[in-house]
Amino acid sequence: MSSSEITGTVQGAGTARSGSVRIDHVTHRYGRGGETFTAVGPLDLTVPAGECLVLVGASGCGKSTLLRLIAGFERPTHGSVRVCGAEPRPGETAGVVFQTPRLFPWRTVRGNIDLALRYAGVERARWPERRAELLARVGLDGTERRRVWEISGGQQQRVAIARALAAENPLLLLDEPFAALDALTRERLQEDVRRVTDLTGRTTVFVTHSADEAVFLGSRIVVLTRSPGTVALDLPISLPRGDVDAEELRGSREFAELRAQVSHAVKAAAAT
Ligand code: ADP
Ligand code: MG
């Protein structure tokens, strides 16, 4: 399956109010009393609506913590996180994709998507149309009746992305979603996510420790220092988006230069 199999219009599945994210003086600390550990901050970051921000940093620098703060799964110890000006609400503010798909394996692809549509409060009469749009968008047409355990890991992760798009919420958050996949599947899914974010215009925050993945996906890259994570590099990426030849892009000189710059920044940030 390739990104070219993803179809749909801007009016189609996943169209949502696009959300802005504002992180003001945020610090996040784990533990209580004498035994505390500061995982993030102090950190300031604004993500304008429609941006595809990629957070990169060494393992343990606080990337997942930051994503959980934006999703509203955790509240910051200090400072504030706002999405569209309001405090984030878990399950409502953002569609989230984790490293593993976390689907119901005994259900069909359709069953998993329908659960998300039900949870999102989509009228039952609209489910077939929405389901078809979502599955087409992630290149999974024709798989509705397959059971999750019958499809590949890459396809399962596509279902997880479709599920995250099901709710028409303002944000899409992805936490190293392709880390467990083989290189070829990973590249294809990167192409799909790039296409999906371009088509939907939904604000996206994507976490990875791969400079290559970051440069391919991001319209902006933020490299975090080692824990407690703060901004080490904030880099706009002006590579072409929309209908591009992925192979050509990956092979371009601009791509190689950006990848080297990000890779260097990640290593320097981890060492300080
Ligand atoms: P990353 O995603 O960049 O690998 P995390 O956000 O998962 O980093 O973790 C940042 C730091 O916070 C790590 O040192 C980790 O051990 C610590 N940490 C993460 N979650 C918890 C938790 N629930 N309780 C205590 N420490 C945690
Ligand atoms: Mg993590």
pTM above 0.85, yes or no: yes
Q: What's the pLDDT score for residue 17?
A: 59
Q: What's the pLDDT score for residue 272?
A: 74
Domain containing 68 equals 3-102+170-271
Q: What's the pLDDT score for residue 7?
A: 31
Q: Which two tokens stand for residue 34?
A: 């004498």
d(CA 242, CA 271): 36
Contact 208, 196 (CB under 8 A): no
* Interval 11-52: pLDDT, tens: 333 344 578 999 999 999 998 877 899 999 999 999 999 999
At 175, which helix (H) or strand (E)?
Answer: strand 171-175
- Local structure of residue 62 (DSSP, 8 states): S
Contact 146, 108 (CB under 8 A): yes
Q: What's the pLDDT score for residue 247?
A: 96
Contact 189, 157 (CB under 8 A): yes
d(CA 167, CA 144): 18
Q: Which amino acid is at 194?
A: R
Along the 272 residues of the chain, how does pLDDT read in single tens digits? Answer: 333 333 333 333 334 457 899 999 999 999 887 789 999 999 999 999 999 999 999 999 999 999 999 999 999 999 999 999 999 999 889 999 999 999 999 999 999 999 999 988 899 999 999 999 999 988 898 999 999 999 999 999 999 999 998 888 889 999 999 988 888 888 989 998 998 888 888 999 999 999 999 999 999 999 999 989 999 999 999 999 988 999 999 999 999 999 999 999 999 998 87
40 CA to centre of ligand 2 in angstroms: 12
Q: How far is CA 179 from the centre of its chain?
A: 13
Q: What's the pLDDT score for residue 18?
A: 74
Q: What's the pLDDT score for residue 14?
A: 38
Q: What's the pLDDT score for residue 167?
A: 81
Whether the link from the prior residue into 228 is cis, omega within 30° of 0, is yes
Average pLDDT across the chain, whole number: 90
d(CA 243, CA 246): 9
Within a domain: 244: yes
Instruction: Determine the length of the chain.
Output: 272
Q: Supply the CATH number for residue 199's domain.
A: 3.40.50.300
Q: What's the pLDDT score for residue 91?
A: 86
SS3 3: helix
State the alpha helices, DSSP H only, in the chain.
63-71, 109-119, 127-137, 153-166, 183-200, 211-217, 246-250, 253-271
Within a domain: 145: no
In degrees, to the nearest 5, what angle opens at C-alpha 89 toward C-alphas 84 and 92? 85
In degrees, to the nearest 5, what angle opens at C-alpha 160 toward C-alphas 159 and 161? 90
Contact 43, 212 (CB under 8 A): no
Closest atom of ligand 1 relative to the 207 alpha carbon: 2
Q: Is the CB of 143 under 6 A from ligand 1?
A: no
Q: Is the CB of 119 under 6 A from ligand 1?
A: no
Give the residue, by CA position, lying nearest to ligand 1 atom 20.
Answer: 65
* Interval 178-193: pLDDT, tens: 988 888 888 989 998 9
Give the residue, by CA position, lying nearest to ligand 1 atom 16.
Answer: 60
Q: What's the pLDDT score for residue 38?
A: 94
Closest atom of ligand 1 relative to the 209 alpha carbon: 3
Closest atom of ligand 1 relative to the 61 alpha carbon: 3
Q: Is the CB of 61 under 6 A from ligand 1?
A: yes
- Provide the number of structural domains found in the chain: 1
Cα-based distances in Å from 153 to 178, 233, 251: 10, 33, 27
Q: Which two tokens stand for residue 148?
A: 């999750």
Contact 93, 167 (CB under 8 A): no
Quickly count: other Cβ atoms within 10 Å of residue 218's Cβ: 27
β-strand partners of 171: 94, 203
